[in-house]
Structure 1
Amino acid sequence: MNSILRVRRLYLPLLFFWLLSGSYTALAQAVGAVQGRVSEANGQALPGVSVVLHGTALGAAAQADGSFQIDGVPAGTYTVEARFVGYETQRQTVVVAEGQTATVALVLAASAAQLNEVIVSASRRAETISETPVSVTVLGPKEIAVQTAITPGNIAAVLGNAVPGLGLNNNQTGNFGQTLRGRNVLVLVDGIPQSTPLRAGSRDIRTIDPAVIERIEVIKGATSIYGNGADGGLINYITKKPVPGKSFGGQTTLGMNSGLTGLSGNTLGYRASQQFYGKRRAFDYVVSGSYDQTGVFKDARGEVISPEYGLGETKAYNGFAKLGYDLSPKDRVEGMYNYFSSRQNSDYVLRPGKYGQAPAIGVRGERLGVDEGTRYNHNAYLTYRGEQRLPLRTSVDLTAYWQDFRTIYGVDRTFFEGGGQSEILSTKRGLRLNLNTPVLTGERFNADITYGLDVLQDRTSQSLVDGRVWAPEMNMRNLAPYAQLRSELFTNVVLKAGARLENIRVGVDDFQTLRTQRGTTYEGGDQVRGGTLSYNTAVYNAGLRYTRYRWLNPFVSYSESFSLFELGRTLRTASVGTKKVTSIAELETKPVIVRNYEAGLNSQLGPVNLGAVYYISRSDLGANLVQVDGVLVPQRLPERVWGYELTLDYAALPNLSLGGSYAWVEGKSDRNDNGSFNDAVDVYLNSTRITPPKATGYVRYTPIERLSLNLNYMRSGRRERFQPLASPTATALYASGEGPIKPFDLFNFSAAYKATESINVGFGVENLFNKSYYSTLAQFYGNNSEYTRGNGARLNLRVGVSF
C-alpha cells in the first residue's frame, strides 16, 4: 500500500505538467515548420547533427547533405540550436508564422572546449555540458585514440589516465580500488548496466573493447538516474555509429606490442580489428570484430610481473553489431549486440616478494585450475525511438536489454577448505520507458519533463567452479518510476530537479555457508534460512546552472543514490560481527543511501578553459571493506567523503594545446555515530576506497597537418593514514587496504601519421622513461603476494587502412 501511495505522489506532478502542456497546446494550434542546412565553415555538410528548438522537445537530425526539417512547430519566436560533438553549439533566432516554413543556415566551428560537448547520460536526454548542473568528463574519439595508442585493449587504463577523480588502473584484469570520488561507480554500455553491485567483483570497467566505443561519458557524484550502484557516479560507454555519407565502408587495423625491457619472443603481443559500416536509404549498420593477445609483461628491471590477475599472456575477443532502420524521419528502431571475452593462459606462477623491499614476480611453473578471466560478457538491446509521437508532442524511447556475464578468479589453495576457484555469474533483463514532454515553450521560460519507468531483473551469485555455493543466488526485481524536470529561466538559468522511486525485492533461497578460513581455523557449513528482502526508497536530485557567460558558468547541485552494494558478501558470511545467524532476516542488509553536495564552475577565457569543483558526500551507512581475521567484511558505519578537482586546457597555438588536472579526495567513518567525523575513535576510509591525489598533464602538437604528437604525464601522490599491524604476520605488514602509498610519476608518448587518405600509422610508448614503480594497489594491500611493480617501458605499433 505504501508503494502505491509513493508511486501516486511521484506521478501527480506529471499529471499537472500534462494538463499544463495540453492547455498550452490548445492555445497554439497554428503551426508551421523550420528547415535549413548544417555545414562547416568550408561548406561541407555535417550529417547527424542534432538540431532542436531551444527549450522544447522539437528537433531533427541533419541528413547526409546536412539538411533538416522540423514540422509541427507552433507559431512563435524560437532559438534554433545545432549541437554536435567536437563543434561549437550554434544558435539562431527564427520567427515561425502560421502555415509558413522558416529557413536557417547553421555553420558550426570546430571546438576543443568540453562545455560544448553534447551528453545523454546525465538525464537521458541530449544536452550540452554547459547546461547540465553536474560534474561531467567526456572522452571523445580523439582522446580515446590518443590513450589507446598507449594502452590498446585496456579501457580501464584509458579512464584512469584521463578522468579526474577516478582511481588509476592497476595493470590487472579487475578494477579493485579504482573508485570514483572515493565511492563505487556504475558502469554502463549504451545504458546497459555492467556492474554487479549485489556481489561486486571489480570486473565491470574492462568489459568491452575500446575499438567499438564512440565516446565515454563520466557523470560524477551520486546519481540514481540508472538505478542501483552509482554511489560515486557512472561511466557510460557509448558504442559506435555508422560514418555518415557512406553506403559501405570500413577500417582494418593491425598492431603489435611488446615490453622494451627483457625483450624476448614471449613478450610480443598482437592485435587485429576489422569494422564495416554504412547507411543505405533507411538502413544503417556497424559490424566489428577484434582479437588482442598480449605477451609476458615485465617491469622496468626486466623481471616478469606477477601473473596473478595480470594482463600479461591474455587473449581477448570482441564481436559487435549495431543495426538501425528509420521507419520515418521521426521513428527509428535499433538493435545492438556485443560479446567480450578475456582469459589468461600463463606459463608463470607467483613467487611472493617482500613487502617494502622486493617485488612479487612470475616464475615458470604450472598454473592450477581453469583459465582466469571474464569468460563472457553478452550485451544486447532493442529500442524504438519516436519524436513527438504521443499526445502533447511527447517523444518516446522504449528499450529492452539483456546482459549475461561470467568471470572466474584465481585458485586459492588455503582460503577455501580443500582449495577452490570462485566465479561470479550475473544475468540482467530490463525494460526502460523514457518519455519527454515539453510543458512550456517561450522566449524567457522553457520547460520539459523527462519521465518513465525502469523494470529490471538481476540474478547474481558467486560459487566455486566445482559447484560449491559461496554467495547464494540473489534474484532482484526492481520497479522504478522516475521524473526529471528541466527548466530554463530568463534564458540564463537552468534548473533541474527530479525523483526516482526504488521498489526492490530480493529473493534468496535457503543455503549453506561455505567453509572458509577465518584466522587460523576453518568455519562455515551453517544452514541459513532465506527469504525476501524488500526496499522502498525515494531518491531526489536538484541543481542550478548559470549559462549567460562563457567566462563564468557556475553550478550547484544535490543528488542522491541508492545501492545494495556488497549484499552478496554479507550473505556469504551470514554473521553480524562475530555472531552467526540462522536467517537472512537477522543480517544487516540496509541499503547505502548517498547524499552528494557539490559546487563548481567552468570558465572559457579565449583559448583557456578552466574547471573547478568541490564536493561532499555523506551516507548514514557505508560498506567500507575492512580486514577481520584475514577476511574482508563490509563495515556498516556512517561515512563522509570530500574532495575537489581542478582542470585546465589551453589552446596556445592552432597546432599546439596543453593542459592538465588535479584531483584530491579523502574520507572517514564515524565510529561513535555522533556526526563529527573528528573524534579520536573515528577512522579514515582505507585505500580500497580513497585514492591518493592524482595530477595529469598533456601536450598535443601537430607540426604538420598529417602528423600529431602527444605527450602525457601522470603523478600518483602520497597517502599514509594507517599504522602497521600490531602483530605483523610472515606475509603481511599492514591490514588489507592500509599500506602506505608513496608517490610516483609516469610519462607516456604517442604519435599518429596519416600517410594517405586511407592509410594511417601510429605508435605509443607506455612508461616512456622506463620508471621502476609499484602500483597503488600493490602498495595499499600491504602484503608480500600483491607487492608487484608496474609495467616497464612498452611499445605499441599499429597501422590502419580505411575504405
Structure 2
Amino acid sequence: MVFITVGSLSAQVSNTSNENKNNKSQDSIIPDKNSADNELKEIVVSASRKAEILDEVPSSVTLLSKKQIQQQLSISSNLSDILGATVPGLGFTTNRTQNLGQTLRGRRVLVMIDGIPQSTPLRDGAKDMRSLDPSVLDRVEVIKGATAIYGNGADGGLINYITKKPNPDKKISGTTEAGTAFSLIKPKETAGFFVSQLFTGKLNKFDYVVSGRYEETGLYRDAKGRVLSPEYGMNDLKNWNAFAKIGYDFNSNNRLELMYNYFESTQHTDYIAKAGVYGNFDSPTIGVKGQRPGEPEGTPYNHNASLSYTGENFIGKTDVNATLYFQDYLTLINYSDFFENNGQPATQSKKLGFRLNLNSPYELSSLVSGNITYGLDILSDITDTHLTDGRLVIPEMKMNNLAPYFQIKNMFGPDLVLKTGLRLENVNIDVPDYTTIGIRNYVNGTYVGGGVAVNGGALDFNALMFNAGLRYTKWNLFKPFVSFSQSFSVADLGLVLRAAKENTVNNTSIKAVTANNYEFGFSGAFEKLSYEGAVYYSTSKLGASYVYVDGNPQISRSPEKIYGFELSAKYRLHSKVDIGANYSFTEGKRELATQKVYLGGDRINPPKITAFTTFRPLEDWAIFLQMISTTGRDRFQPVNGAYTYGTGPIKSFTAFNLSSSYTFKEKSTIRFGIENLFNKDYYTVISQWQSNNMNYVKENGTRLTVSFAQSF
C-alpha cells in the first residue's frame, strides 16, 4: 500500500508495481521508508485527458484504488457513502438513492463513467453518483475545483469512475463472491444478500472482462431499530449490474475497445413514510406498513456504451484517442401530490457523444520539453421530465454541445511543470412549445403556475474557458502548486421551465453559470509522515442557488463567493500500523441587493473530519477502522419560528465504521464490515438542513456485511 498526497488527497492506493500476483490481500503490502517518493508516480488520466503521473499535476486530485473501494464496499454498497467517507471536500453522504447536497467544494460535480457523462445538467435529478455498481470499478479519479478541460457541469470538479481492466496474464480467470447484510439492532426484515461473478482474460489479441452482480438490500433501521423512511431510501432495493469490456490489439500501438454497462436499482417495499416532527430529536420520519402508490421508484435502467480507438505514434509521434459513446438513463421518484391531480415524475436523458483527443510531444532544448493535448468534444443530450401517466412536466430539451480544446504541458527541467489550456464551449438548446402543469404551494395548499402556454425557442450559450497551473517538485519535504481554472454550466434549465410564467422561452431568465477557481496547494513527506493541503477561492458573477418562493423551488441568480481549505496527513506508526486523518472546511456567500447571505446547506456542507487506522496483524489479515465526524454548521435564524429549505442547523456527530479481510489458501477471502460500529443515534446532514417534517430521517444503526470471495 502507498499513501498518495496531492493537493487535498487522502487515500490509500495500491501500488501497481507491487501487486500480489497470487491475489493475496493487498493490505499485506508494506511500503518501504521511501514510499512517499513513489506515491506521486501513480498514474492519473482525468486531470488532463492523458496518462500522467500525479507529481506533474498542478491541481487537487483524489484517487480511490480498487483496494480502497473494496474496503468501503465491505461497509456499504452505496457509492454516495463510499465517496462521502473517502474524498476530502465532497459533502457527507445522504444515505439515500439521491445525492442532493453532496457538492464538491460547494459546487456541482460532473460524474462520468470512463468519460461518459452521467450528470444531467438540463434537469439535475441528483442521482448521478449511483449510476453503476462499485464492484465494477478499478479506481475513481476525483479532480477538484472548476474544471475547464471537461466543460459543462464541472463547476466544483469531476468524478470519473474508471471501470475494470482485463487480466492479460491468463486466458480465463475470475472471482465469485456472495454475501449478506443486516441490522444488528433489530434484524427482522433487514437481511439482504448479493452475489457477483467476474470473468477476465486474454485470448490471442482479444482481452475481456465480463461481470454481473445482483443485490437485495433489505430494510434499513436507525439506532433505535425503527425502519427508515422509504422515500429516496436504500430500503428494499433490487440492484442489477451487468458489465462487459472487450478489447482487440491490432499491434502494440493500436487498440480497439468496446465497453457496456447496465445498471438498475428499484425499490420494492411494503412500507410508506410517516412524517416526523422536524427539530424533535425523538420524532424522526420512519417507515410504516402500507401500500406505496405508483411504480417502483429508483433507476429502472442506465445504459452506458462506448467504442474507443487508441493509436500510439499515429502520425509521427502524435498519439490519438477517439471515443464514440452512448447513454440512456431513466429515473423515477415517488408518487406525490406535488403536481396537480397527483403523479409520479420520471426524468429521462439520452446522450450521444464523440471525443477526439490527440497528444503531440515537443522538445525545445534539453531543459524545455512537454506536450500539447488537443481535440474536440461533441455531445447531444436530450432530457425531459414527464409523469408516468403521460403528462409532460418539462418538455424535451435538446442540447447540442461542440467544444474544441487544447492543453499545453511545459517541463522546465525535471522539477517545474507549467500547464495552460483553453476550451471553447458552444451550446445550443432547443425547447419545443409546451404547457406548464400546476405545482403545489405547500404554504397554502393551492396549485400555481399551471396552464401557462410557453412558446419554445432556441437558447445559445458560448464561453471561452481558461486554465493554468504551476507545480514545483524538487523538494520532497514541500512540493507546492498554484492553479487557476474556469468552468461553465447551464444551471438546471428544466427547473426554470417547469415554473415558467413567461409565454416564450427567450423571455425567461436563463443564463449560464461561469466560475473561477483559484487554488494554492502543497504535498510533502518526512520519514514516516506524509501530508498535503490546499486553500481555494471560487467566484461566480451569476451563481445558481435553490430557494423557495411561495412554497415552490426556484433558482436565485446572484453573485457567489466560496472559499475553504483541506488538510490531510498519514503516519506509519509501526510496520503493521498506519494512521491518517483529514479535515475539510468550506464556506460560501451570495450577494443580494442589500446584503450578503450564507449559502445554504444544499451547497455548503459542514466541516468534515475523517480519520483511519489500518492494522495488519498477519500478512493476509487486515483490519480497517474509520471515523467520520463534523463539528456542525449553524448560519441561519428561523423566520417566523421556522427554518426554510437549506437553512436548518446541523448538529455535530461522530460515527465509526470497521472492515476486515482475511485471505487464506491464496485465493479465498472472507470480508466483513460494520457500519456505525457503536450504534450512534443521529440525523443525516441532508435531513437537518432540509428542515421539513417529511425529510427528517436518521442515519443507519449498526449494520453488518459479511461476504466470501473465491478467485481462480
Q: How far off is 1:45 after superposition?
A: 13
Change (3 A) 1:481 1:699: same
1:156 aligns with 2:80: yes
What amino acid is the match of 1:365?
A: G
1:449 aligns with 2:358: no
Write the distance in 1 (CA, Å) between the matches of 2:113 and 2:161: 5
- 2:482 corresponding residue in structure 1: 556
- 1:627 corresponding residue in structure 2: 548
Write the distance in 1 (CA, Å) between the matches of 2:636 and 2:251: 62
Write the distance in 2 (CA, Å) between the matches of 1:528 and 1:592: 24
Q: How far off is 1:244 after superposition?
A: 3.5
Q: Secondary structure at the match of 2:335?
A: strand
Change (3 A) 1:426 1:114: farther
Residue from 104, 111, 120 that aligns with 1:187: 111
Change (3 A) 1:121 1:189: same
What amino acid is the match of 2:491?
A: F
Contiguous gaps of at least 5 residues in structure 1: 1-37, 47-85, 89-106, 575-579, 673-679
Write the distance in 2 (CA, Å) between the matches of 1:194 and 1:436: 26
Which is higher, the Rg of structure 1 or of structure 2? Answer: 1
- 2:560 corresponding residue in structure 1: 639
C-alpha contact (below 8 Å) 1:422/1:463 kept by paired residues: yes
- 2:682 corresponding residue in structure 1: 773
1:683 aligns with 2:683: no
Write the distance in 2 (CA, Å) between the matches of 1:436 and 1:211: 32
- 1:369 corresponding residue in structure 2: 294
1:22-33 equivalences in 2 (<5 Å): none
- 1:351 corresponding residue in structure 2: 274
Q: How far off is 1:44 after superposition?
A: 8.2
Q: How far off is 1:40 after superposition?
A: 6.1
Q: Secondary structure at the match of 1:143?
A: helix
1:459 aligns with 2:382: yes
- 2:660 corresponding residue in structure 1: 751
Q: How far off is 1:146 after superposition?
A: 0.9
What amino acid is the match of 2:239?
A: A
| CA shift digits 1:302-350 (9 cap, x unpaired) | 1111111100100000000000011010000001000000000111111
Change (3 A) 1:43 1:369: closer
1:782 aligns with 2:682: no
Q: How far off is 1:468 after superposition?
A: 1.1
C-alpha contact (below 8 Å) 1:87/1:111 kept by paired residues: no
Residue from 646, 651, 661 that aligns with 1:742: 651
Q: Secondary structure at the match of 2:110?
A: strand
Calculate the aligned-residue CA RMSD, in Å: 2.0
1:725 aligns with 2:648: no
Change (3 A) 1:41 1:569: closer
- 2:524 corresponding residue in structure 1: 603
1:190-589 equivalences in 2 (<5 Å): 190-264=114-188, 266-357=189-280, 358-391=283-316, 393-413=317-337, 415-440=338-363, 442-518=365-441, 519-520=443-444, 521-523=446-448, 524-574=450-500, 580-589=501-510
Q: How far off is 1:281 after superposition?
A: 2.1
Residue from 22, 44, 51 that aligns with 1:126: 51
Q: Secondary structure at the match of 1:412?
A: coil
- 2:10 corresponding residue in structure 1: none
| CA shift digits 1:245-274 (9 cap, x unpaired) | 11100100001000111121x110001110
Contiguous gaps of at least 5 residues in structure 2: 1-14, 24-28
- 2:3 corresponding residue in structure 1: none
Write the distance in 2 (CA, Å) between the matches of 1:87 and 1:305: 41
Write the distance in 1 (CA, Å) between the matches of 2:39 and 2:432: 49
C-alpha contact (below 8 Å) 2:22/2:666 kept by paired residues: no
Write the distance in 2 (CA, Å) between the matches of 1:235 and 1:42: 25
| Structure of greater relative contact order (alpha carbons < 8 Å, 6+ residues apart) | 2
Change (3 A) 1:108 1:262: closer
Q: How far off is 1:376 after superposition?
A: 0.5
Choose 382-391 or 759-768, whichever is displaced more: 382-391
Write the distance in 1 (CA, Å) between the matches of 2:327 and 2:35: 37
C-alpha contact (below 8 Å) 1:700/1:708 kept by paired residues: yes
TM value normalised by structure 2: 0.94
What amino acid is the match of 1:777?
A: I
| CA shift digits 1:356-407 (9 cap, x unpaired) | 111111110111111000010000000100001114x111000000000000
Change (3 A) 1:396 1:297: same
What amino acid is the match of 1:162?
A: T
Write the distance in 2 (CA, Å) between the matches of 1:691 and 1:431: 35
Write the distance in 2 (CA, Å) between the matches of 1:487 and 1:246: 40
Q: Secondary structure at the match of 2:333?
A: strand
C-alpha contact (below 8 Å) 2:70/2:135 kept by paired residues: no
Q: How far off is 1:439 after superposition?
A: 2.1
- 1:677 corresponding residue in structure 2: none
Q: Secondary structure at the match of 2:334?
A: strand
Write the distance in 2 (CA, Å) between the matches of 1:666 and 1:39: 37
Q: How far off is 1:610 after superposition?
A: 0.6
Q: Secondary structure at the match of 2:201?
A: strand
C-alpha contact (below 8 Å) 2:536/2:565 kept by paired residues: yes
C-alpha contact (below 8 Å) 1:220/1:234 kept by paired residues: yes
Write the distance in 2 (CA, Å) between the matches of 1:725 and 1:541: 42
Q: Secondary structure at the match of 1:571?
A: helix
Q: How far off is 1:650 after superposition?
A: 1.4
What amino acid is the match of 1:386?
A: G
TM value normalised by structure 1: 0.84
Q: How far off is 1:224 after superposition?
A: 2.3
- 2:40 corresponding residue in structure 1: 115
C-alpha contact (below 8 Å) 2:440/2:447 kept by paired residues: yes
Change (3 A) 1:670 1:444: same
C-alpha contact (below 8 Å) 1:445/1:491 kept by paired residues: no
Q: How far off is 1:608 after superposition?
A: 1.3
| CA shift digits 1:158-215 (9 cap, x unpaired) | 0000000001111100100100000000000000000001100000001110110000
C-alpha contact (below 8 Å) 1:41/1:109 kept by paired residues: no
C-alpha contact (below 8 Å) 1:723/1:734 kept by paired residues: yes
What amino acid is the match of 2:300?
A: R
